[in-house]
Chains A and B, each alone.
Chain A
Amino acid sequence: MSDESTTYIAPEPKFGYPAGPKLDQQIKARHRRGQFWYVLLGASLIVSILALIALLYTIVNDAFGLAAVEYKNDPTRLVVEQQEKVMLADRDTVSSEDDRELAAGIMNDPYAIGFFGYAYYQQSSDNLTLLAVDGITPDAGNVEDGTYPLARPLFLYSDARVLENNQAANVFINYYLTHVNEEISDVGYFPLSAGRISQAQQTWKQANALDLPAGQWAAINPDGVGGSLSIAGSSTVYPLTQRMLERIKADGFVGDTSDESVGSTAGYRAFCVDGAADIAAGSRPMNQNEFASCRKIGRLPLEFAVGTDALAIVVSAQNDFLTAVTADELRLIFTTAQKWSDVNPNWPDQPIKRFIPGTDSGTLDFFVETVFPIALDELPQPTLVSILADNVSPGLGRRMESEQRFFADQLVFFSQEQWAEACDGATPYAGCTLPPRAKDSVLQLLNENVTEPNIVAVWKLVPSLLNRAAIEQEALEKYPAASLQFTSWVSTAFLRSPQSSTPELAGVRTAVLGSLWVVAFTALVSFPLGVGAAIYLEEYATDNRLNRLIQTNISNLAGVPSIIYGMLGLAVFVRALEVITSGTAFGAVAAGATANGRTILSASLTLALLILPIIIISGQEALRSVPNSLRQGGMALGATQWQTIWSHVLPSALPGILTGTILSISRALGETAPLVVVGASTFITTDPTGPFAKFTTLPVQIYQWTSRPQPEFQNLAAAAIVVLLILLLSLNATAVLLRNRYARRAA
């Protein structure tokens, strides 16, 4: 009664019961106890929700993430090489490492086109026309900020230890970084901004352990400095380096210098593999493989940006129809088009004369990488086939072609005579009758036999997002030859590829198709039987012993562990009824020969028995909810019982029946244990062809991957789970839609 708010309490104390303040306390204590339990109830609910979140988290965490991939053959390189080969093979194309020769060739032919470093264009700018690409003509601004599509940085690379031991190299780089912007425009390239130059200077200062404040530079006077200095690399950087060498010598440098224009790749090789060059010059950044090679010989490359080059796309000054091109036009001009009019009908009907740099210069690589798509799967099929042909042995190629041809009208590895002979012979190749390979199949062959990706390490999603820098560091140290890629394990390739023992090539195609076949047959068998039984029990069955037994039995069956159904299926469908389930009874031997009764049909029949009780029970519920007036109405019109059921009862129970059926089918879709027992194949790579085919299903596939020790297979399992859950979700969404539609109609 201490509390003003509770003064309404009855005045008379009741014998035996707490009264007054005691009563207040008692009730408060009871409420507190209730609140404690209320919190506990809420907490228990949260456990379930947390479990669901943890489950989804685990799956997503594994289905995406960084992976370190090593390739036997770098796919990018393959594509570039292939494109270059195509370009060089054309007889109207002139290729030379000497850019001056290219310039001279273009000048004199109004129908010529070519490209080379901007510097060479400047030397002959009077006789050449510079083309805008995608509407942008190169100038200092758009080249450095990269809006001009064909611009690229120029680099020198060296190593701290080399600079320490080789005074000539150290002083030369110092001199380079001091004066390059005074010369570069004259040579024909674009100067770097002050900021980027000072960044390069900072690298030099660090290599020399000079602790100067940012922005302060320690130019060294080269007068009298000597020693021997070897530079190798890009032909694009070459003229600039030559200019710097001339100037440093004029300033009193007395060293012994060699400067070779061999192309960026060769230059990096000389620096990183042979260790012959002290400085490498390049027109592209060093890639991870090159870094790794350097590390192997104890060199840690230091990168000095020295300028920017732009590729000049030029035509002769005599050309009167071209001032600008698009990237799409460029692709056509340098590959398939024969005449200018092939590219654009407004252009003259004259053959295109092409002038391009040779393969050793980084310039051609750069052009190809920038203008052409370089992802393997974006290439047209013929290109893929020719890459394949270039990179596999003829024997292997013939085997691939004998399994399935690459083209309908053309042979790649066989001659016409050989093929005709084999196909007319006693044991014709499978490829003689099969339709030609699809692009996916070619891509898969390329992956398996040429690029041969090999995942050496994987990281989960959350660390991949949060600790990317640390992971990059780790990957560089542990797997120098690998490239780090953000990988979505769920991808279109994953959906399209069949099972494979190489995790990076494996997919769920066969498993998904297997699941769909199995589930379709399961539904086909169990739906009519289940609905029939439900109708019998609800509409016909009288209350006698047998019918009660059936009813009890059905609910007991619903509680039998699914693996028991697997044993039933194994003994009955796989073993006893093998002639039927393997298809031999129907002469379907070709497909069933190896399946041994372990077929889609056996699996479906097993699952059908498994879900039958669920369909029956939900069907009964749906039928029970149909009002009796409907039945009486039908009967009163003189319809027989079946006519009434068929035209009145079933239609109005149908949505309920379908909902139950769909839910039980989603149960079948997720079922694993009985299928393992019935003998799902552990490894099949061919699509199931029918009810008598061997099979695997998505859950079985998940089980197998989960049981593998290698971590990549866990990623695959997670990805397959994502696919499975999406399938289930769409099934359930259908059920919900049906239910809602039903509810609306009933309302």
Chain B
Amino acid sequence: MATQSSVPPIATETFSAESLTKRPRIGEALIQVFLFSCGIISIFTTIGIVIVLAEEAIKFFALPQVTLLEYFTGTKWQPAIGYFGVLPLVLATIMISGIGMVVALPIGLLTAIYLSEYASPRARNILKPLLEVLAGIPTVVYGYFALQFMTPVLRSIFGVQQVQIFNVASAGIVVGILIIPLVTSLSEDALSAVPRSLREAAYALGGTKWETARQIVLPAGLSGVTAAFVVAISRAVGETMIVAIAAGSGPRNFEIGKDSLFGFIFNPFVAGETMTGHMVRISGGDLSYNSVEYLSIFSIGLLLFVMTLILNLIARRIVTKYREVYE
């Protein structure tokens, strides 16, 4: 067959066997190395945090005036005159996180149930961005809110005599408000992940909406909800600006037996500096390297890091271990 085609013949010589062998691509390799280093930076960050905190904390505990026993059992934190008991700071942190949880857990969880089980798609489209707004407000603004709004409100309810200007309660409540969106969105994710078939089964047995939500969906999403709570606690423990502004700037040193338990030591209306609040205040001033104060905040930082890390690991573990596997 004679073809009159003007198409040029295929240049067969470019397909020599040689060209099919693997060629080193320097550019590609370099890029991969760069990308890998980007990924590995996060490991270095973690290592950096651990080394920095541990190094300075070890220096701190090596100081002659500091003992580990006093650190964890002492009830006074006054580095200037040689008291190094971290308990007052830890106690304030726990109280504020506790109050925050009391506010955030029920509200956050109920809101999550509302959003995942009750809200129409339209209501959800309005409400979720609103919660995002709440979550996007910087914490320093919440601190201002605690001092300028929550404290006056508490004082007008419980009396100016009872409630100090700087107090644990208003900081705790506002920390709670701050983490509501976090609790809500994590819990809602957990609830929404419960398959629809489970709800249908409950309805088919004659369950009402609330019975289904409370007794079927919530238990099914419980691991996610619990993890959300733990993450929220970790967030509350690490929260800084609200407590730095509103909770008071001085550790609530106490003496067991001498100070009244609920009138002072656990009184939410009295000022009490937290671990984070103390760290910000001390580092905001003039801080000379290797001074006792400088080293002491690293010891507190290490403690804080360990606490939040443990909480985050617990949360992760709950999620991976107890998650029900739905097809």
- Within the complex, are A and B direct neighbours (CB within 8 Å)? yes
- Tell whether, in the assembled complex, residue A676 and residue B280 are in contact, meaning their CB atoms are under 8 Å apart: yes
Q: Total contacts A to B, CB within 8 angstroms?
A: 247
Question: Interface stretch among A318-326, A417-425, A535-543?
Answer: A535-543
The verdict on A699 contacting chain B, using a C-beta distance below 8 Å, is yes
Can you add 6 more A-B contacts, CB < 8 Å, to A55-B145, A671-B138, A672-B139?
A34-B210, A48-B177, A565-B49, A672-B240, A714-B148, A721-B144
Interfacial residues, chain A to chain B (CB-CB below 8 A)? 30-31, 33-34, 37-38, 40-45, 47-49, 51-52, 54-55, 57-59, 62, 528-533, 535-537, 540-541, 547, 549-550, 552-557, 559-568, 570-572, 575, 609, 612-613, 616, 640-642, 663, 666, 669-673, 676-677, 679, 682, 699, 702-703, 706-707, 714, 717-718, 721, 724-725, 728, 732
The verdict on B301 contacting chain A, using a C-beta distance below 8 Å, is yes
- Tell whether, in the assembled complex, residue B144 and residue A706 are in contact, meaning their CB atoms are under 8 Å apart: yes
8 tightest Cβ-Cβ pairs between the two chains A and B: A561-B238, A670-B138, A532-B38, A34-B210, A44-B110, A673-B240, A536-B35, A533-B38
Assuming the contacts A553-B46, A677-B279, A702-B140, asked whether A563 and B240 have C-beta atoms less than 8 A apart, the reply is yes
A529 CB to closest chain B CB (Å) equals 5
Assuming the contacts A567-B53, A568-B52, A676-B283, asked whether A703 and B245 have C-beta atoms less than 8 A apart, the reply is yes
- Tell whether, in the assembled complex, residue A560 and residue B49 are in contact, meaning their CB atoms are under 8 Å apart: yes
With CB as the reference atom, state the residue of chain A lying closest to B209: A34
A619 CB to closest chain B CB (Å) equals 10
A32 CB to closest chain B CB (Å) equals 10
Assuming the contacts A52-B130, A560-B309, asked whether A533 and B39 have C-beta atoms less than 8 A apart, the reply is yes
- Tell whether, in the assembled complex, residue A40 and residue B45 are in contact, meaning their CB atoms are under 8 Å apart: no
- Tell whether, in the assembled complex, residue A703 and residue B241 are in contact, meaning their CB atoms are under 8 Å apart: yes
- Tell whether, in the assembled complex, residue B36 and residue A725 are in contact, meaning their CB atoms are under 8 Å apart: no
Question: Interface stretch among B26-34, B74-82, B251-259?
Answer: B26-34
- Tell whether, in the assembled complex, residue A642 and residue B279 are in contact, meaning their CB atoms are under 8 Å apart: no
- Tell whether, in the assembled complex, residue B42 and residue A554 are in contact, meaning their CB atoms are under 8 Å apart: yes
- Tell whether, in the assembled complex, residue A34 and residue B208 are in contact, meaning their CB atoms are under 8 Å apart: yes
Assuming the contacts A55-B149, A725-B137, A725-B141, asked whether A672 and B241 have C-beta atoms less than 8 A apart, the reply is yes
- Tell whether, in the assembled complex, residue B238 and residue A677 are in contact, meaning their CB atoms are under 8 Å apart: no
- Tell whether, in the assembled complex, residue A641 and residue B28 are in contact, meaning their CB atoms are under 8 Å apart: yes
Could you tell me the distance between the alpha carbons of A44 and B149 in the complex, rounded to whole angstroms? 20
Assuming the contacts A47-B107, A567-B298, A676-B280, asked whether A612 and B35 have C-beta atoms less than 8 A apart, the reply is no
Q: Which residues of B contact A556 (CB under 8 A)?
A: 46, 309, 312-313, 316
13 A-B pairs whose Cβ atoms sit less than 8 Å apart in the complex: A30-B208, A55-B149, A532-B35, A536-B35, A559-B235, A560-B305, A564-B301, A564-B305, A567-B53, A669-B138, A672-B139, A676-B280, A725-B137
A651 CB to closest chain B CB (Å) equals 17
- Tell whether, in the assembled complex, residue B131 and residue A48 are in contact, meaning their CB atoms are under 8 Å apart: yes
- Tell whether, in the assembled complex, residue B139 and residue A717 are in contact, meaning their CB atoms are under 8 Å apart: no
With CB as the reference atom, state the residue of chain A lying closest to B49: A568
Contact with A724, one of B28, B35, B52, B141 (Cβ below 8 angstroms): B141
Assuming the contacts A58-B148, A557-B46, A564-B304, asked whether A30 and B211 have C-beta atoms less than 8 A apart, the reply is yes
With CB as the reference atom, state the residue of chain B lying closest to A680: B284
- Tell whether, in the assembled complex, residue B42 and residue A673 are in contact, meaning their CB atoms are under 8 Å apart: no
The verdict on B289 contacting chain A, using a C-beta distance below 8 Å, is yes
Could you tell me the distance between the alpha carbons of A191 and B105 in the complex, rounded to whole angstroms? 74
Could you tell me the distance between the alpha carbons of A42 and B131 in the complex, rounded to whole angstroms? 14
The verdict on B237 contacting chain A, using a C-beta distance below 8 Å, is yes
Could you tell me the distance between the alpha carbons of A49 and B136 in the complex, rounded to whole angstroms? 14
Q: Which residues of B contact A47 (CB under 8 A)?
A: 107, 180
- Tell whether, in the assembled complex, residue B279 and residue A48 are in contact, meaning their CB atoms are under 8 Å apart: no
- Tell whether, in the assembled complex, residue A540 and residue B35 are in contact, meaning their CB atoms are under 8 Å apart: yes
- Tell whether, in the assembled complex, residue A609 and residue B45 are in contact, meaning their CB atoms are under 8 Å apart: yes
Q: Which residues of A contact B134 (CB under 8 A)?
A: 48, 51-52
With CB as the reference atom, state the residue of chain A lying closest to B249: A707
- Tell whether, in the assembled complex, residue A40 and residue B144 are in contact, meaning their CB atoms are under 8 Å apart: no
Q: Which residues of B contact A560 (CB under 8 A)?
A: 49, 238, 305, 308-309
Question: Interface stretch among B111-119, B193-201, B260-268?
Answer: B111-119
Could you tell me the distance between the alpha carbons of A536 and B245 in the complex, rounded to whole angstroms? 41
Q: Which residues of A contact B214 (CB under 8 A)?
A: 37
The verdict on B239 contacting chain A, using a C-beta distance below 8 Å, is yes
With CB as the reference atom, state the residue of chain B lying closest to A52: B134
- Tell whether, in the assembled complex, residue A44 and residue B141 are in contact, meaning their CB atoms are under 8 Å apart: no
- Tell whether, in the assembled complex, residue A536 and residue B39 are in contact, meaning their CB atoms are under 8 Å apart: yes
Could you tell me the distance between the alpha carbons of A702 and B138 in the complex, rounded to whole angstroms? 11
With CB as the reference atom, state the residue of chain A lying closest to B147: A706
Q: Is the interface of A mostly helix, strand, loop or mixed?
A: helix
- Tell whether, in the assembled complex, residue B284 and residue A682 are in contact, meaning their CB atoms are under 8 Å apart: yes
Q: Which residues of A contact B48 (CB under 8 A)?
A: 568, 572
Q: Which residues of A contact B107 (CB under 8 A)?
A: 44, 47-48
The number of residues on chain B lying at the interface, defined by a beta carbon within 8 Å of a beta carbon of chain A, is 86
- Tell whether, in the assembled complex, residue B114 and residue A41 are in contact, meaning their CB atoms are under 8 Å apart: yes
The verdict on B181 contacting chain A, using a C-beta distance below 8 Å, is yes
- Tell whether, in the assembled complex, residue B280 and residue A673 are in contact, meaning their CB atoms are under 8 Å apart: yes
- Tell whether, in the assembled complex, residue B140 and residue A51 are in contact, meaning their CB atoms are under 8 Å apart: no
Contact with B114, one of A44, A570, A612, A676 (Cβ below 8 angstroms): A44
- Tell whether, in the assembled complex, residue B52 and residue A571 are in contact, meaning their CB atoms are under 8 Å apart: yes
With CB as the reference atom, state the residue of chain A lying closest to B103: A47
- Tell whether, in the assembled complex, residue A563 and residue B138 are in contact, meaning their CB atoms are under 8 Å apart: no
B83 CB to closest chain A CB (Å) equals 22
Q: Which residues of B contact A532 (CB under 8 A)?
A: 34-35, 37-39
Could you tell me the distance between the alpha carbons of A641 and B27 in the complex, rounded to whole angstroms? 11
With CB as the reference atom, state the residue of chain B lying closest to A641: B28
Assuming the contacts A30-B211, A37-B210, A560-B308, asked whether A550 and B114 have C-beta atoms less than 8 A apart, the reply is no
Q: Which residues of B contact A530 (CB under 8 A)?
A: 38
With CB as the reference atom, state the residue of chain B lying closest to A44: B110
- Tell whether, in the assembled complex, residue B42 and residue A553 are in contact, meaning their CB atoms are under 8 Å apart: yes
With CB as the reference atom, state the residue of chain A lying closest to B231: A559
Assuming the contacts A535-B35, A540-B36, asked whether A561 and B144 have C-beta atoms less than 8 A apart, the reply is no
- Tell whether, in the assembled complex, residue A44 and residue B111 are in contact, meaning their CB atoms are under 8 Å apart: yes
The verdict on B167 contacting chain A, using a C-beta distance below 8 Å, is no
With CB as the reference atom, state the residue of chain A lying closest to B234: A559
Q: Which residues of B contact A54 (CB under 8 A)?
A: 145, 149
Assuming the contacts A44-B114, A561-B240, asked whether A567 and B297 have C-beta atoms less than 8 A apart, the reply is yes
B315 CB to closest chain A CB (Å) equals 8
- Tell whether, in the assembled complex, residue A541 and residue B39 are in contact, meaning their CB atoms are under 8 Å apart: yes
- Tell whether, in the assembled complex, residue B133 and residue A52 are in contact, meaning their CB atoms are under 8 Å apart: yes
Q: Which residues of A contact B245 (CB under 8 A)?
A: 703, 706-707
The verdict on B122 contacting chain A, using a C-beta distance below 8 Å, is no
Q: Which residues of A contact B102 (CB under 8 A)?
A: none
B28 CB to closest chain A CB (Å) equals 5
- Tell whether, in the assembled complex, residue A570 and residue B283 are in contact, meaning their CB atoms are under 8 Å apart: yes
Q: Which residues of B contact A48 (CB under 8 A)?
A: 107, 111, 130-131, 134, 177, 180-181, 184
B146 CB to closest chain A CB (Å) equals 10
Interface residues of B in 41-84 (CB under 8 A from A): 41-43, 45-46, 48-49, 52-53, 55-56
Could you tell me the distance between the alpha carbons of A720 and B15 in the complex, rounded to whole angstroms? 68
Assuming the contacts A45-B114, A672-B240, asked whether A677 and B283 have C-beta atoms less than 8 A apart, the reply is yes
B33 CB to closest chain A CB (Å) equals 10
Could you tell me the distance between the alpha carbons of A612 and B46 in the complex, rounded to whole angstroms? 12
A596 CB to closest chain B CB (Å) equals 10
With CB as the reference atom, state the residue of chain A lying closest to B181: A48
A609 CB to closest chain B CB (Å) equals 5
Could you tell me the distance between the alpha carbons of A682 and B311 in the complex, rounded to whole angstroms? 34
With CB as the reference atom, state the residue of chain B lying closest to A616: B42
Contact with A642, one of B28, B180, B208, B234 (Cβ below 8 angstroms): B28
Could you tell me the distance between the alpha carbons of A519 and B289 in the complex, rounded to whole angstroms? 27
Q: Which residues of A contact B53 (CB under 8 A)?
A: 564, 567
B228 CB to closest chain A CB (Å) equals 12
With CB as the reference atom, state the residue of chain A lying closest to B240: A673
Interface residues of B in 277-313 (CB under 8 A from A): 279-280, 283-284, 289, 297-298, 301, 304-305, 308-309, 311-313
Could you tell me the distance between the alpha carbons of A31 and B31 in the complex, rounded to whole angstroms? 62
Could you tell me the distance between the alpha carbons of A55 and B139 in the complex, rounded to whole angstroms? 12
Assuming the contacts A33-B210, A568-B49, A732-B136, asked whether A563 and B284 have C-beta atoms less than 8 A apart, the reply is no
- Tell whether, in the assembled complex, residue B110 and residue A40 are in contact, meaning their CB atoms are under 8 Å apart: yes
B90 CB to closest chain A CB (Å) equals 14
- Tell whether, in the assembled complex, residue A557 and residue B42 are in contact, meaning their CB atoms are under 8 Å apart: yes
